[in-house]
Chains A and B, each alone.
Chain A
């Protein structure tokens, strides 16, 4: 038994996504939070724990206390987790589970989101390059953006495994197709492989359409005990298994591709869940770039090591395949405000509320991916609640 067995994700919500002038990150998180509590069938007074992360566009101290103040809450615990990528939200689930188990919380609100577009226009933003940790040995060389860090690994994968730009393009095209099925996606106009190939090079081998978006958006979820969830009468998701792995911080100190933490995190999560990749109905991979999906399907064991490119090109990522990937459109098309939307859409699949992109009868859905530049990995195997 694990404390994670006792929790249920009962409500999810997201704000509009795109360019939202005048909106602070905290206001976006609060808006999503209020909506998530309502979706859970709960009210303000039911929330006695706040778990959050500021995001990087408006990084701040004691962020969860600020969210609590903003929402007029006085919880026992207001806790920030910053693992990077999906690990941030997954680690929050672990914290909530421990808090519920310890009797310190009965219903937690978890809020995320950024204003990456609007903060720059306001002049108050802090360039992510100042937060990436390579200030002495990487930034002086112009390694200041996450995407050029990812490009280093995409290039090596191409060298070792023969992965092509067209295969990465297949990821971008599929993500946009899924976003076209999602009314709330930031970018919904379908794209073709030719569009991908014609998009300008950003950091070789990654083109503009290989890069995730920058969005203003907030997302939130509510967690309570399974027992409480049953009494609420709303559909919910349960944690079946959680695994993680940490290998480095800055790109130059990473191990080689086959030693990155993705397969480790996935193996740990699957072992703890008693599931295998064959049991999974859909996966959500933190797609900072198209290559992240290639690395992700390999890590999850949906294909062999080095075979992620051909796997993407085969059509296996799309709705209708055995295990579709990023049905909300991912950060490549739905929006990027810290990556919480993968977890939210995974929960929707299990609640049966994913609309046009619903996988019929989804029972097991996995959220997976990395923070930093393949620095931390996290895999969360989720199942349909009772």
Chain B
């Protein structure tokens, strides 16, 4: 049993994202009007406010835009067994940026600009989170 924060799988705009993640697929919304691929999911395109969207599979590739190694379990012991852990902003090859953990990081080598690929971490029931691993 984990006490880590859980995303709201029932949020109407984001549910397809989490359903895809449960299948270990990374899918993002794409605007049918202007073609923008964006994150986080929402009911309108943030570029042009068009409400017609489609779900598009991502390649799963990207690069490290920035990162931090967190050494402290903030507030309580929720993350005590995880520290140190790496929080990174990943720029997907398709353009959008999202935040995730780098799994099995090599801290002597991890650098901004490193190529990464998506992997999935299955948490408690029904929740799978996209994570990223450096491509050696």
User: Could you tell me the distance between the alpha carbons of A54 and B76 in the complex, rounded to whole angstroms?
Assistant: 23
Instruction: Check A252 against B79 for contact (C-beta < 8 Å).
Output: no
Q: Any chain A CB within 8 A of the CB of B135?
A: no
User: Could you tell me the distance between the alpha carbons of A139 and B99 in the complex, rounded to whole angstroms?
Assistant: 10
> A136-B11, A142-B82, A142-B85 in contact; A200/B5 too (CB < 8 A)?
no
Q: Any chain B CB within 8 A of the CB of A204?
A: yes
Q: Any chain B CB within 8 A of the CB of A70?
A: no
Which residue of chain B is the closest to A208 with respect to CB atoms? Answer: B72
Which stretch of B29-37, B51-59, B61-69 is in the interface?
B61-69
Q: Is the interface of A mostly helix, strand, loop or mixed?
A: mixed
- Across the interface, B66 reaches (CB within 8 A) one of A143, A153, A250, namely A153
Q: Any chain A CB within 8 A of the CB of B119?
A: no
Which residue of chain A is the closest to B99 with respect to CB atoms? Answer: A252
Instruction: Check A152 against B101 for contact (C-beta < 8 Å).
Output: no
- Across the interface, A137 reaches (CB within 8 A) one of B7, B66, B72, B113, namely B7
Instruction: Check A251 against B89 for contact (C-beta < 8 Å).
Output: yes
Q: Any chain A CB within 8 A of the CB of B134?
A: no
Q: Any chain A CB within 8 A of the CB of B14?
A: yes
Instruction: Check B4 against A151 for contact (C-beta < 8 Å).
Output: no
Task: Map CB proximity to A onto B77-91 as digits: 1 under 8 Å, 0 otherwise.
Answer: 001001001010100
Chain A residues within an 8 Å CB radius of B75: 127-129, 144-145
Taking CB atoms and an 8 Å cut-off, the chain A residues in 264-285 that contact chain B are none
Q: How far is the CB of A109 from chain B (nearest CB, A)?
A: 32
Task: Map CB proximity to B onto A141-179 as digits: 1 under 8 Å, 0 otherwise.
Answer: 111110010011101100100000000000000000000
Which residue of chain A is the closest to B79 with respect to CB atoms? Answer: A142
Q: Any chain B CB within 8 A of the CB of A190?
A: no
A contacts with B, residue count (CB < 8 A):
33
Instruction: Check B7 against A142 for contact (C-beta < 8 Å).
Output: no
Instruction: Check A145 against B74 for contact (C-beta < 8 Å).
Output: yes
Instruction: Check B74 against A144 for contact (C-beta < 8 Å).
Output: yes
User: Could you tell me the distance between the alpha carbons of A134 and B89 in the complex, rounded to whole angstroms?
Assistant: 13
> A129-B74, A201-B69, A202-B71 in contact; A140/B87 too (CB < 8 A)?
no
Instruction: Check A252 against B89 for contact (C-beta < 8 Å).
Output: yes
Taking CB atoms and an 8 Å cut-off, the chain B residues in 1-44 that contact chain A are 4-8, 11, 14, 39-40
Chain A residues within an 8 Å CB radius of B7: 135-137, 140
B contacts with A, residue count (CB < 8 A):
36
Taking CB atoms and an 8 Å cut-off, the chain B residues in 87-119 that contact chain A are 87, 89, 97-101, 111-113
Instruction: Check B6 against A140 for contact (C-beta < 8 Å).
Output: yes
> A129-B75, A252-B97, A252-B99 in contact; A140/B129 too (CB < 8 A)?
yes
- Across the interface, A136 reaches (CB within 8 A) one of B8, B67, B76, namely B8
Q: How far is the CB of A214 from chain B (nearest CB, A)?
A: 11
Which residue of chain B is the closest to A157 with respect to CB atoms? Answer: B66
> A129-B74, A250-B99, A252-B99 in contact; A140/B5 too (CB < 8 A)?
yes
Chain B residues within an 8 Å CB radius of A128: 75
Task: Map CB proximity to B onto A235-266 as digits: 1 under 8 Å, 0 otherwise.
Answer: 00000000000000011110000000000000
Question: For A141, A143, A204, A206, which residue has the most chain B Cβ atoms within 10 angstroms?
Answer: A141
Question: For B68, B69, B127, which residue has the most chain A Cβ atoms within 10 angstroms?
Answer: B68
User: Could you tell me the distance between the alpha carbons of A171 and B67 in the complex, rounded to whole angstroms?
Assistant: 22
Chain A residues within an 8 Å CB radius of B4: 140, 142
Instruction: Check A152 against B67 for contact (C-beta < 8 Å).
Output: yes
Chain B residues within an 8 Å CB radius of A250: 99
User: Could you tell me the distance between the alpha carbons of A142 and B131 in the complex, rounded to whole angstroms?
Assistant: 12
Q: Any chain A CB within 8 A of the CB of B70?
A: yes
Q: Any chain B CB within 8 A of the CB of A138?
A: yes
Instruction: Check B70 against A148 for contact (C-beta < 8 Å).
Output: yes
Q: Any chain B CB within 8 A of the CB of A81?
A: no
User: Could you tell me the distance between the alpha carbons of A133 and B82 in the complex, rounded to whole angstroms?
Assistant: 22
Q: Any chain B CB within 8 A of the CB of A203?
A: yes
> A127-B76, A140-B4 in contact; A134/B65 too (CB < 8 A)?
no
Identify 16 residue pairs between A and B in the complex whose beta-carbon atoms are under 8 Å apart, listed by A's number.
A129-B5, A129-B75, A135-B7, A137-B40, A140-B5, A141-B101, A145-B72, A148-B70, A152-B68, A155-B66, A155-B68, A159-B113, A202-B72, A204-B69, A252-B98, A253-B97
> What 8 A-B pairs have minimum CB-CB distances, sorted nearest first?
A151-B68, A139-B5, A252-B99, A136-B7, A156-B66, A145-B74, A127-B75, A204-B69
- New A-B pairs, 19, CB < 8 Å, besides A152-B87, A205-B68: A135-B8, A136-B14, A137-B39, A137-B40, A140-B6, A140-B129, A141-B87, A141-B101, A144-B5, A148-B74, A152-B68, A153-B66, A155-B67, A156-B66, A156-B112, A159-B111, A201-B69, A203-B69, A252-B97
